[in-house]
Amino acid sequence: MRDLIVTENITLDGVIEATEGWFDPAGNDTEVDQSDIVAAVAEQREAADAFLVGRVTFEQMRGYWPLQTDDTTGITDYLNAVSKYVVSKTLQEPEWQHTTVLRRSLGDEIQALKSQPGKDIVTTGSITLVRDLIADGLVDEYRLFVYPVVLGHGRRLFADAGGVPRLRLAESRAFRSGIVLLRYRTA
C-alpha cells in the first residue's frame, strides 16, 4: 500500500499559509545557498509518483509552474510529468496534462489511490484538503520544512488538532539556510 505524505513549508509558530513572502517556492533566494534543500526536495520527488492537491492550490500551481522556463530545481519538469490528482466538486477541465479530478468521497478516493501500485502520494499546500485528510486519518507521514520565521497570524496546519494521531520522529535535518526538515510518521 502506498503512503500519503503531507509536505508543508511551515513557520515556527505553525503557519502554512503562503503569505507575506516568507518562503520562496522556486528556491530563487540568491542570498542563501539552498542547494541542500533543493537536493532534499529532489529526493522526495524521486520517492513519489502521485501529487494530490485541492482545487485552489491546483489552480495557483497550474497558473505558475507550467510557465517556468528557467527553473533549475526540477520542480517544473516534475509537476508537468507527475500524475496529479485534484479534489474538487467544481473543477471541470483541469487543463494540465496528467491530471485527474477526484469527485467522490475523500476517503474512498484516497483509499483507492493508496491501494494502487506505485510510489508515495504527496500533497502540499491545500490547507482545507490537508485538514480533511488529517481528520479522516488518511495521512501516513508529515514532512515539515520549518522556516525560522514567526508570523503570529495566518492559517495553521494543526489549527484544531482534530484527528491527529500519535506521531513518531522519523528524521530531522538542518539546512544551511536555517530551515529544518522534520519528518513524522503516524504511530
> Of the candidates 30, 41, 110, which has an alpha carbon nearest to the alpha carbon of residue 78?
41
User: Is residue 69 in some structural domain?
Assistant: no
Q: Is residue 80 part of a domain?
A: no
Q: Is residue 117 part of a domain?
A: yes
Of residues 164 and 121, more confidently modeled: 121
Give the pLDDT confidence of 119-140 residue by residue, as tens digits: 999 999 899 999 999 989 999 9
The answer to whether residue 83 is domain-embedded is: no
Residue 38 lies in a domain: yes
> Number of folded domains in the chain?
1
Q: Is 41 part of any domain?
A: yes
> Which CATH number goes with the domain that contains 166?
3.40.430.10
Measured distance CA(81)–CA(64) in Å, rounded: 15
Whether residue 87 lies inside any domain: the answer is no
Q: Render 103-153 in DSSP notation, one character per residue.
A: -S-HHHHHHHHHHSSSSEEEEES-HHHHHHHHHTT---EEEEEEES---S-
> What is the overall mean pLDDT for the chain?
89
Look at residue 164 and tell me whether its pLDDT is greater than 90: no
Average pLDDT over residues 156-178: 86
Alpha carbon separation from 69 to 94, 107, 129 (Å, rounded): 21, 36, 29
Q: Which domain holds residue 150?
A: 4-20+29-53+105-186
In a domain, 96, yes or no: no
pLDDT of residue 26: 46
